């Protein structure tokens, strides 16, 4: 399998200029600072994934007009990464008319003006960073959720073409439908381009990685702890929960959940990469912080081993806050062993 060199072990910078709690200068200038990037480099990682919400760069009241103050945060992060020998992925986490966490409001795939804004924004990135080397990578859009992949195939192709009008060599990352699922990569249409990487996210089994997550209606009041690895006793409790529960989580929670089971869930991605002869990248993986650390470490150890065995680069979710943190609010490491596991390359 082709290897995404320079992007083997990284961390997401979620919550900074994407999914932020407050959109103000104090937050943007303090949430991530240079010492955070230095710390990430000291762990032995080779890159960061920087989620970006379009509103930081462009206002809905002034479409196609881009804010220097917003771009300055991206510029600064790139500079810090360069100074600390880290590569960086610029991930458009939210686009005008599209957000993975508010699907009822999405209009991007049915509104040509919004699609033009989306492509133009990527062209603005391409123009601004054209002179940057291959250590700066573009990721087209985070976690598409569509009835099928047809409209995303059409729009992603237009986005690649728009970027290529300006920059022929920039590495571009494309993910599949249904929250970057491994099961939908094969629905992506082939694009003749030697500088494409295909991404997936991995939080399986969801009932384990997101147990008692406040935003998950069926999991927020879960009465039992789901360990990892888990076996028949846990599975029995799961079966007894409810029919709705079984319908939602049944396809990725089995009687025995261990490393071999995780390996089986990765197979569609591995087969896709082999058939297409393309590079793979796991842009997000992780375990919610309220899971007992023993199980958290067990899962991350198996997950990282599997990705390394298959030469798949990855970025753990996430550096600070966001319910999946590597560090606390003061950037102090929560668990040294966890950092060691996710930084291995």
pLDDT tens digits for range 287-297: 999 999 999 99
Average pLDDT over residues 211-240: 93
- Does the pLDDT at position 33 exceed 90? yes
Q: Where are the domains of the chain?
A: 10-205+259-343, 210-256
CA–CA gap between residue 152 and residue 156 (Å, rounded): 6
Q: Looking at the predicted structure, is the pLDDT value of residue 35 above 90?
A: yes
CATH code of domain 10-205+259-343: 3.20.20.80
pLDDT at 321 over 90: yes
Kindly state the average pLDDT of the residues 312-329.
97
Pull the structure tokens for residue 303: 């997950």
Q: Provide the pLDDT for residue 246.
A: 83
pLDDT tens per residue, range 328-337: 999 999 999 9
- Could you report the per-residue pLDDT of 54-69, keeping only the tens digit for each? 999 999 999 999 999 9
> Using an 8 Å Cβ cutoff, are 92 and 122 in contact?
yes
Lowest mean pLDDT among 28-42, 78-92, 147-161, 212-226: 212-226
**Tokens representing residue 223 in the block:** 């009465």
Q: What tens digit of pLDDT does each residue of 174-189 get?
A: 999 999 999 999 999 9
Q: CA 70, CA 17: separation in Å to the nearest integer? A: 9
Burial of 218 (0-12, 13-18, 19+ CB in 10 A): middle
pLDDT at residue number 1:
79
Distances (CA, A) of 304 to 184, 217, 237: 22, 29, 28
Is the pLDDT at 156 greater than 90, yes or no? yes
Please tell me the distance from the alpha carbon of residue 9 to that of residue 44, in angstroms, as a whole number. Answer: 8
Burial of 342 (0-12, 13-18, 19+ CB in 10 A): buried
pLDDT, position 54? 98
User: Is a pLDDT exceeding 90 seen at residue 244?
Assistant: no
Q: Which residues are catalytic?
A: 143, 284
For residues 10 and 77, give the distance between their C-alpha atoms in angstroms, rounded to a whole number: 14
Q: Judge contact between 302 and 194, C-beta under 8 A.
A: no
Find tokens 């919610």 and name the residue.
Answer: 288
pLDDT for 104 equals: 79
Over residues 148-158, mean pLDDT = 98
pLDDT band at 247 (very low <50, low <70, confident <90, very high): confident
Whether residue 239 is predicted with pLDDT greater than 90 in this model: the reply is no
Burial of 217 (0-12, 13-18, 19+ CB in 10 A): exposed
Owner of token pair 């999991």: 219
pLDDT at res. 161: 98
| 281, pLDDT greater than 90 | yes
75-83, Cβ contacts within 8 angstroms, sequence gap of 24 or more = 77/13, 77/32, 77/37, 77/48, 77/50, 78/129, 78/132, 78/136, 80/34, 80/37, 80/38, 81/37, 81/47, 81/48, 81/135, 82/135, 83/34, 83/37
């Amino acid at each position: 399998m082709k290897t995404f060199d320079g992007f083997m072990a990284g961390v997401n910078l979620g919550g900074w200029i994407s999914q932020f709690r407050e959109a103000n200068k104090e937050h943007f200038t303090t949430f991530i600072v240079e010492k955070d990037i230095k710390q990430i480099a000291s762990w032995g990682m080779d890159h960061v994934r920087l989620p970006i919400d379009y509103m930081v760069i462009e206002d809905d009241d002034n479409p196609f007009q881009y804010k220097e103050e917003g771009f300055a945060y991206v510029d600064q992060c790139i500079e810090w990464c360069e100074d600390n020998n880290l590569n960086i992925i610029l991930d458009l986490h939210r686009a005008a008319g599209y957000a993975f966490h508010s699907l009822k409001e999405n209009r991007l795939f049915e509104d040509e003006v919004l699609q033009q804004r989306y492509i133009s924004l990527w062209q603005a990135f391409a123009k601004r960073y054209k002179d940057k080397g291959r250590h700066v990578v573009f990721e087209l859009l985070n976690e598409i959720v569509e009835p099928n992949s047809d409209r995303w195939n059409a729009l992603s192709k237009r986005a690649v073409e728009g970027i290529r009008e300006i920059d022929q060599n920039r590495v571009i990352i494309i993910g599949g439908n249904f929250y970057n699922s491994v099961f939908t990569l094969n629905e992506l249409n082939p694009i003749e381009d030697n500088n494409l990487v295909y991404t997936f996210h991995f939080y399986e089994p969801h009932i384990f990685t997101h147990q008692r997550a406040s935003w998950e209606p069926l999991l927020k009041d879960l009465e039992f702890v789901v360990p990892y690895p888990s076996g028949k006793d846990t599975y029995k409790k799961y079966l007894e929960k409810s029919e709705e529960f079984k319908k939602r989580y049944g396809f990725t929670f089995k009687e025995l959940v261990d490393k071999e089971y995780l390996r089986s869930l990765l197979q569609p991605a591995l087969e896709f990469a082999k058939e297409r002869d393309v590079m793979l990248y796991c842009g997000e993986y992780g375990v919610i912080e309220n899971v007992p650390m023993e199980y958290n470490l067990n899962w991350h150890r198996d997950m990282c081993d599997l990705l390394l065995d298959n030469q798949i680069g990855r970025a753990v979710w996430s550096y600070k806050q966001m319910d999946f943190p590597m560090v606390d609010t003061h950037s102090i490491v929560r668990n040294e062993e966890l950092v060691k596991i996710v930084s291995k390359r």
